[in-house]
Each structure stands twice: as C-alpha cells, then as structure tokens.
Structure 1
Amino acid sequence: MISKFKIFVLALTICATTLSAATWKYAMGEGLNDPQGIYATAFKEFIEENSRHKIKIYPVGSLGEETDMMEQTRAGLLQFLGQSTGYMGGTIPEMDLFTLPYILPTNTQQLDYFFKHSKVINEMLPSVFHQHGLELLSIFPEGEMAITTFEAFHSPNDLKGKKIRVMPGSPILVETYKAFGASPVPMSWGDLIGALKTNMIDGQENPTVWIEAYDLDNLTNVLTYTGHGHFNASASANKQFFDALSSRDKKLIKAAAAYAHKVILKEAQKLDAYGLGRIVRTNPSFKIVTLSKKERAPFIKAAQKVQESFADKSDSNQDILKQMRMDLKQAMKNGN
C-alpha cells in the first residue's frame, strides 16, 4: 500500500510537471507548406517529442502583416517569430545585410556552409537581436531570387520606368531596384496578386518556390535569374521569455532550432528545384531567362553602390559586412 507521504510527493510531482508544461505561440510570414512552415513544423515536432511543451503555429495572415507579428513578438504576446530577413530591415537595420545584391553566392553548397558556420550569424547578430528584444535562433536560405515581368529584360536600361514590387520594410530593396534602373514599389504580399492582375506594377521578385506555389508565373510572362541574391528567413524568440526559461528549456529550444535548421537546408533546395520543374511542365509558354555573365556585369556594378550605402549607414553595418565577406571567402573555400 502506498503511504500518504508517497501519495503527497507523487501529487506534488504531477502538479509541478503540469505547471512546467506550456503552450508557446509561433507566428510566421508563410504557409505551413512553405520553407518557413517546414522549419516551424520541424521545430514544433522536436519540442513536443522532447518535452511536455506544445507549439501552436500561426501561418501567414493569421495575426496580421509582418510588422504586426514583429511587434507582437517584441511585446511578448508571441513567443516565436518566423520572418523573412527582407521584412526586418526597417526594425533591425543590420538585417538588410541579407538583402544586399550580389553578396551571397548562388552555389547552394557554399550557401549552406555559410549559414552553418558564419561568424556574422553565430557571433555578431545575436547581440544585435538582443538590443531589439529578440533571441536569434536561425537564419536560413529559401531559394534564389528571380524576377518575373511582363516583358523580358537584359540590362538596367530595359528596366527603366518599370514598376517592380519589393517587400515593404527594407530600404535596401528600394535602393537596389533604383540602382537596377527600375521604379521600386514597396507593397505587402496581400496586395501583390491584385496589383499584377490590374497591371499596377510591371513585375516582382521572389524565389521560384513562391512563384510557382502562388501562380505568379500565370500572372506574368517571363522569369529572369539575375543572380543578385537569395530569399532568406529567420527564426527568433522573445528575449524576455527566453531569458526567463530554465536552462533545460533553453537547451531544448536551441536544440530544436538546430534540428529545424538542418531540415530546412535540405528541403529548401528541393522546393526551389521542384517549383521550377513544375513551372516548366505546367506552363510551357512561360519564358525562363538566365542572364549571362556579360549581361550581369552592369547590374553587379550598380550593386556596389548599394553595398557601400549599407556600410555607410552605421559602424555596425560596416563591421558585419566586413565579417560577412570573410565568412563568404571561407564558404567558397570549404563549401564544395
């Protein structure tokens, strides 16, 4: 027979275990089947398989626009946030680093090496995030950027006067497309489809996986790879929430982030390739163009001014850009 004391101790243990279990909210700027959704799902599965905690995921549109989710996370209403780095520049200026044209390589192995081993990501940006009330968990690539337009272009001159939609919140994106000769139009994702249907804009940029998934190829005529960048995303936590956790839960979250990071690095490459393949099979009249080295040269030259502009904005920007270039040299050397 169990003694009253043992029953009391057992009751306390059950109570403590129940109290230690929590449901954490994770909002993101994409759907469950998109790269951020794949990352969030892997993160959720790891947490729930290795603890009593639960994760409730809020896909794109559930809790407002990207800026709304950022503010809700910083205010502590959300515990976790998945967001494109392109949306973060307005809040965390250093994150425009990942939007700079012609910085990141197009080689996926080099890119993966960079996102795994970069000192900028692993050593410098965490303290920057702390200043904004966030704990950085991961930064990962979603796919090479492509530009879809109604008419083909092969030079900055061809883009003159063309209204190209860019993500809101990133001054660097505006500077980039001005340098490329176009007229950038910051616009939310929710307004993009209607703008293309009504010819309010002449084109937009996104990774291939998004272009195929949301039928952007059926709303334009040409997809062009300029080699100017990748679409990248981040995962972060509210810092006050994270700091208040037990050391065990902190380790759990870091381990979940590392696991999800491995998952998405593999899956993102597949999604991008599958997206392009489906476009080729289902939309044969859609033109796909890859600019030649000679055609890219004037875009690369124009991009140098944007890179310099980013570095001139602050000492912090200058420092992380310098380190990023060193990180990328290592990636080019070892990421093969």
Structure 2
Amino acid sequence: MKKVVNSKVFKTFLAGVLLIAATHMSVHAEEWKYAMGEGESDPQGIYAVAFKNYIEENSRHTIKIYPVGTLGEETDMLEQTRAGILQFLGQSTGYMGGTIPEMDLFTLPYVMPTDTKQLDYFFKHSKVINDMLPEIFREHGLELLSIFPEGEMAVTTLEPFHSPADLKGRKMRVMPGSPILVETYEAFGASPVPMSWGDLIGALKTKMVDGQENPTVWIEAYDLDNLTNVLTYTGHGHFNASASANKKFFDALSKRDQELVRAAAAHAHQVILNEAQKLDAYGLGRIVRTNPSYKIVTLTESERAPFKEAAKAVQASFASKSASNKSVLDQMMADLKEAEKKAE
C-alpha cells in the first residue's frame, strides 16, 4: 500500500512540475514587434530578417516584422517604439536627428569615408557607436543595438550638375527630421525640401522637386532612375541605418534574453555588412542594364573641392549646437583615423 501511495504522490508531483514548466515557457514565449523604414528585401529588411531568424532559432520567442508604410511614417514608428507599443525599430539615422540630435552625425557631408574596408572597421569598433551613443539613446527611451551602412549616397536630378553654382535654385528633397540635411543642401547651393518617402515619387513625377539623394540600391528598386535623368556620385556621404529596442522592454528582459537580443543584433550586423556592398553594386548594374540612356556621373576631385569646402560650415554648425554634438564628432573623427590605419 505504501508503494502505491508513493507512486500516486510521485505522479501528482510530476504532473505539477510539468504544469509549472509549461506555464513558465508559455509566459516567456512572446511575440515581439519589429517595425522598419524599408521593405524586407532592402538593407534594413535584410537586417531585420536575420535578427528575426536568429531569435526564433535560438528561443521560443517570435518576431513580427512591419515593413515601411504599415505603421505610418518614420517619425510615427520612432514614437511608437519609445512608447513601448513596438519592441524593436529599424530606422535611417537621418530620420532620427530631430529626436536625437547627435544622430545627425551620420548625415554630415564629407565626414564618412567611401572605402568599404574602413567603413566596416569603423562600424564594428567605433567608440562613438559602442560607448557614447548607447548612453544617449537610453536618455531617449531606447536601447541601441546596431548602426550600419546601407550604401554610398548618390544624387539623382533632372539636369546634370558639377558645382554648387549648378544647384542654385534647384529644389532637392531631403529626409524630414534632420536639420543637418537642410543645412547641407543649402550649403551646396540648392533649395532643400524636407519630404517623407511616401510623397517623394509623386513629387518627382509632378516636378515639385528637381532631385533627391539615396543609395543606388534604393534608386533602382523604386524606379527613381526613371523619374530623373542623371545620377551623380559626389562622395559626400553614406546612407546609414540603426536598430534599437524600447529601453523599458529591454531592461525588463531576463539576462538570458538580453544576451539573446545582443547576439541576434551582432549576427544581423555581420549579415548586412556582407550584403550592403553587393546590393549597391547590383543596383547600379541593373540601372546600367535596364536604363542605358541614364547618365551616371562621378564628380572629379577638383569638382568635389567646392562641395567639401562648403561642408566645413555644416560640420562646424553641428558641433556648435551642443557640447554633446562636439564630443561625438571629435570621437568620430578619432575613430575614423583609426579605421583608416587598421583597414590598410
């Protein structure tokens, strides 16, 4: 009789343990929302999918991705993430300058190199990215996970240009939310028009604007080469993006899940570093093949010189806005010098 009782007790105990374990697992197996400013086949999308796959392959959590346009404009998604409605956000650094002024660092003209080895080293080892900006993000309710390059900026216009004088009076669309982009195109001689991505296509079709800037992969993917006549490489910058999490959400995660998120971000970061350069080259190649009459121009060093000179005032303006701006710019310049040496 004693053995029977013990057997029943053991079975009851085991059932309780299994029930508790199942409850524990179901509570902690969550669906997390990830919104971004691009489609799933674009650089931010490639990062987001790699992030999602890593999370789902290494935990019971799932990620639901919301591509561009599904949850409003870029500023809407940023505020939804800060409010905790979304857990993760992929967004161009250019859109973030209005909320986090230091992020305009990445849109400053003629600061970032065009050499891909230097860029890769910088984005992996930069002190400004790994040490300084995470603290700044936390002040705005966000946990910074990654900043990565999407491709060299190219300018598409209806008419060619080779100097700031050629751009005088031309209406150039710039991303909203970044004062530095406005200052940049004013310094370049143009008339900048802040405008959301959703309005850009119609504005080009109706000639409300005379041009815009984007990486080649975007220009080809969204047929911007068919809405303009010339693509110009000025060498003035790269299109960069960030990935971040809501800080309260991240802080509330278990240590194991925090490590999981960090590992997923590191994995996705490496994936996009490997893919971004290829995407840019593929975009240009497809434009050349499908639109052979489209004019592609690379400004010479002598043609770039007056643009670089004009850019100095924009860099100085950024640094003068706050001590924090100056601090991150000084550190970035030091980081870039190190990247130039180490990437040789």
TM-score (norm 1): 0.99
1:212 matched to which residue of 2? 220
Q: Deviations over 1:88-136 (max 9, x none)?
A: 0000000000000000000011001100000000000000000000000
Q: Deviations over 1:204-228 (max 9, x none)?
A: 0000000000000000000000000
1:96 matched to which residue of 2? 104
Choose which of 230, 246, 255 in structure 2 pairs with 1:247.
255
Q: Deviations over 1:244-303 (max 9, x none)?
A: 010000000000000000000011111000000000011000000000000000000000
1:165 matched to which residue of 2? 173
- What is the CA–CA distance in structure 2 between the aligned matches of 1:40 and 1:125, rounded to whole Å? 21
In structure 1, what residue type is equivalent to 2:101? P
2:154 matched to which residue of 1? 146
Question: What does 1:316-335 align with in structure 2 at a 5 Å threshold?
Answer: 316-335=324-343
1:30 matched to which residue of 2? 38
1:118 matched to which residue of 2? 126
Q: Percent identity?
A: 77
- What is the CA–CA distance in structure 1 between the aligned matches of 2:207 and 2:74, rounded to whole Å? 25
SS at match of 1:3: helix
Structure 1: segments with no counterpart, 5+ residues = none
1:300 aligns with 2:320: no
Give the CA deviation at 1:335: 1.6
Give the CA deviation at 1:11: 1.3
Count of residues in Structure 1 that have an aligned counterpart in Structure 2: 336
1:266 matched to which residue of 2? 274
- What is the CA–CA distance in structure 1 between the aligned matches of 2:246 and 2:285, rounded to whole Å? 38
Choose which of 298, 301, 312 in structure 2 pairs with 1:290.
298
Q: CA RMSD in A?
A: 0.7
1:193 aligns with 2:207: no
2:4 matched to which residue of 1? none
Larger radius of gyration: 2
- What is the CA–CA distance in structure 2 between the aligned matches of 1:249 and 1:317, rounded to whole Å? 33
Give the CA deviation at 1:18: 1.0
- What is the CA–CA distance in structure 1 between the aligned matches of 2:219 and 2:60, rounded to whole Å? 38
Question: What does 1:60-139 align with in structure 2 at a 5 Å threshold?
Answer: 60-139=68-147
- What is the CA–CA distance in structure 2 between the aligned matches of 1:237 and 1:201, rounded to whole Å? 35
Choose which of 139, 163, 178 in structure 1 pairs with 2:186.
178
Choose which of 21, 29, 32 in structure 2 pairs with 1:13.
21
TM-score (norm 2): 0.97
1:313 aligns with 2:321: yes
1:231 aligns with 2:239: yes
- What is the CA–CA distance in structure 2 between the aligned matches of 1:10 and 1:88, rounded to whole Å? 47
In structure 2, what residue type is equivalent to 1:197? K
Give the CA deviation at 1:179: 0.2
SS at match of 1:25: strand
Runs ≥4 residues deviating over 4 A: none
- What is the CA–CA distance in structure 1 between the aligned matches of 2:112 and 2:295, rounded to whole Å? 25
Question: What does 1:29-48 align with in structure 2 at a 5 Å threshold?
Answer: 29-48=37-56
Give the CA deviation at 1:188: 0.5
- What is the CA–CA distance in structure 1 between the aligned matches of 2:314 and 2:173, rounded to whole Å? 18
In structure 2, what residue type is equivalent to 1:259? H
In structure 1, what residue type is equivalent to 2:321? K
SS at match of 2:173: strand
- What is the CA–CA distance in structure 2 between the aligned matches of 1:129 and 1:141, rounded to whole Å? 19
